[in-house]
Amino acid sequence: MAKKPTSIFNIPVFPPINFGGFIHLLITFFENSLPFFPEYFRNAHVLQNLPDTIEGENRITVILCQFLTSHEKNLDYTTTKQGFYNFQFVNQVPANGHRSSDIGVFLANIIVPSNVLFVIEAKRLPTLPIKTRQKEYVIGDGGGIERFKKQVHGQELRNNISSIIGYIQNHNSEYWQTQINSLIDEQIEQSSNPKISWSSKDILIKDMVFQKEFVTKFNSIHQRINLSDIHLIHYWIDLTA
């Protein structure tokens, strides 16, 4: 790890943060580590009694935070040239309107607390119970994409990029891409929330370059109420095995 810079009073002085460099490193970290999550998840005792409720979704996300934290310890930060920072993954970070983001990624150091760098919303596919939450990846009070469009999530970020992680527990990524994009098409035709609008940019586009076992990647761009567009990276993890 790089030596921390100090002032003449022996108090660490941190130069301006290269946020773009850290975002690039974080995305690379996700794409190299997430393919190993299914095996890690299978070893968790929580699988023995995973409820078909929001609690079950939260339990998976807690395990994901543990997984990311353990893998972060081997991450090389030298490419950022600011090795005195490291990623910290925090479950249930306060968001706008008395809500919370499932995972907040912070740039941590031993002296100064930092604001959130990146936020992640997590959704089971299917979202359970199906009868009451079947559209929640896209819309509704807990709607993943809608929350970003309404600025419940991500309004504090310097870089307009965040992620939704989908836990696939039946069917496959092709099936869920069709289902999710069909819901978005419905909103393009007539938005269920008059405060937000939808367009073809909201459609999830598969990243054909990204080829990793157990993980599929999609990209989408979303107009927000009074902030610039946000780029969402969708990582769908196959947990069906």
Q: What is the CA radius of gyration of the chain?
A: 18
In a domain, 1, yes or no: no
Residue-level pLDDT at 7: 46
Residue 102 belongs to a domain: yes
Question: Is pLDDT of 78 > 90?
Answer: no
Q: Using a CB cutoff of 8 Å and minimum separation of 24, what contacts does 16-19 make? A: 17/82, 17/85, 17/107, 18/80, 18/81, 18/82, 19/117, 19/158, 19/159
Tell me, yes or no, whether 206 lies in a domain: yes
The region of weakest confidence among 94-98, 146-150, 234-238 is 94-98
The count of domains in the chain is 1
pLDDT at residue number 189:
96
Q: Is the pLDDT of residue 108 over 70?
A: yes
Is residue 37 in a domain? yes
Give the pTM: 0.89
Show the domain range for 59: 19-238
Tell me the β-bridge partners of 121. Answer: 164
- CA nearest 232: which of 165, 140, 175? 165
Burial of 76 (0-12, 13-18, 19+ CB in 10 A): exposed
Work out the average pLDDT over 229-240. Answer: 96
Distance of alpha carbon 119 from alpha carbon 59, whole angstroms: 18
The pLDDT tens digits of the residues spanning 14-47 come to 667 888 999 999 999 999 999 999 999 988 866 6
The mean predicted confidence, pLDDT, of the chain is 87
Does residue 9 register a pLDDT over 50? no
User: Does the pLDDT of residue 216 top 70, yes or no?
Assistant: yes
Q: Is residue 9 part of a domain?
A: no
> Crossing angle of helices 19-33/54-72, nearest 10°?
110
Q: Is residue 175 part of a domain?
A: yes
Proportion of the chain above pLDDT 70, given as a percent:
86
Note the pLDDT of residue 44.
Answer: 82
**C-alpha to C-alpha distance for 203 and 218, rounded to whole angstroms:** 9
98 falls within a domain: yes
Whether 65 is in a domain gets the answer yes
Which pLDDT does position 238 carry in this prediction? 97
Tokens of 5: 């810079």
Contacts of 79 (CB under 8 A, 6+ apart): 21, 25
